[in-house]
Amino acid sequence: GESVGLHLPTLSVQEGDNSIINCAYSNSASDYFIWYKQESGKGPQFIIDIRSNMDKRQGQRVTVLLNKTVKHLSLQIAATQPGDSAVYFCAENYSGNTPLVFGKGTRLSVIA
């Protein structure tokens, strides 16, 4: 399939290692954050979300960390698998009916 992004930052990890993908968000008033995974030729797939009243949230093999002081969000993937290879986007939202703003994606490449 075609590439989702051609000139994105790329993170290469060995299968089984942990991955950390970082995102700097823009609006200090944003109070809801989402990580999406996008495979080639597909739409973004919801992974995990976090609200601003939390600084950490865990899912299955994934953890999201939020540092409001420096407006930084990270996604940690434990025991990275080949199926995790994709482009990952963070998105931020301000309370109410406002647009979801996507950050620049990061391409994760898992080396078997």
Interface with another protein by CB under 8 A: which residues?
2-8, 31-32, 34, 36, 41-46, 49, 51, 89, 91, 93-97, 99-100, 102-105
State which residue, 19 or 37, has the beta carbon closest to another protein: 37
Dump strand ranges (E) for 9-61: 10-14, 19-24, 32-38, 45-51, 56-58
In the chain, count H helices and then E strands: 0, 10
**Shortest distance (Å) from residue 35 CB to another protein:** 11
State which residue, 56 or 104, has the beta carbon closest to another protein: 104
**Shortest distance (Å) from residue 31 CB to another protein:** 7
State which residue, 8 or 65, has the beta carbon closest to another protein: 8
Tell me the three state secondary structure of residue 84.
helix
Q: Considering only CA atoms, which of 29, 46, 28 is closest in space to residue 37?
A: 46
